[in-house]
Amino acid sequence: MELCVEYLEYVKARFSKLTYMEKKLLCKRSIEYFTPDIEVEKITSKMVLDYLNSRLKKSNNSFNVNRKNLLAFWKYANTFHGIENNPVKMISKMSHTRSVQYTPPREDISKVLEVATDEEKVFLLCFLHTAGRRSEIFRLKWKEDINFKKREIRLGTRKTKDSSIEYTWLPMNSDLYSELKWWNENRPLKESPYVFCVSNSSHESFGKPFTQRRRFLKGLCQRAGVKEFGFHALRRYVASTLADTHKVSAKTIQRILRHKSVTTTVRGHEVWT
């Protein structure tokens, strides 16, 4: 229990909220399974394997995700407390076949854009013209990330080893430039530094950037009468269009998606539909 509380404080100060919540859930389940007062050094590989097998009821992937998080937990224990015993080290990953990920066709993207309001359209075009991740679009700021003079947009990702933000400047095409120019002049909350933020004055996050916006695309898809898809599907759509329609090389798509390895890009293309 003591080590879990300490570890979570460490994670909270250095990683994203999503990562913190994932680690918090792991600690909660681990404490419940191993009991809160057990000494960390007394947890054996067999005990960890039994715990991980209990997660198999969900899927092999759940087993692997829990294993990965437990490895990180024991790495922390070793680094800051000198606990040499790592019971997770000897446990191998389970085989896992990635499920096919849905990529919306061009017609559905067009239908969604047709039913979108002007504000919603600007938001969607930021995804479609940058192939940005949800978090990258959500954290955009006018002064720091939008340069109308140079026609550039800056995206920042935490897809780094230490979860620090790594920024990349990208050119804005004419459509995105025009849409963002219009939005800059017509946005309702000019005092907010964020390009996209909560505009409902009664909401607790009023003026702050979105963190999830789960119902946004679901509602748009329903209005357009198309199969539902999420934000990451827009990123897959851009990559798929570049690869299949415009025959762009994997290396170029890797640079556009800002993957660290071209293997990630190729592997992703194998599960797009």
pLDDT by 10s per residue, the chain, length 273: 999 999 999 999 888 788 899 999 999 999 999 988 999 999 999 999 999 998 877 788 889 999 999 999 999 999 999 998 899 999 999 886 666 789 999 999 999 999 999 999 999 999 999 999 999 999 999 999 999 999 999 999 876 666 678 899 999 999 999 999 999 999 999 999 999 998 888 888 898 998 888 899 999 999 999 999 999 999 999 988 888 877 878 888 788 887 777 666 665 655 444
> For 106-270, CATH number?
1.10.443.10
Distance (Å) of CA 66 to CA 3, 19, 50, 71, 255: 17, 13, 12, 9, 31
**Domain boundaries of the chain, sorted by first residue:** 2-81, 106-270
Contacts of 252 by beta carbon, 8 Å cutoff, 6+ apart = 242
Q: Strand order of the sheet with strand 152-157? A: 146-147, 152-157, 166-171
Q: Read off the pTM.
A: 0.71
- Dihedral angle sign, alpha carbons of residues 252, 253, 255, 256: positive
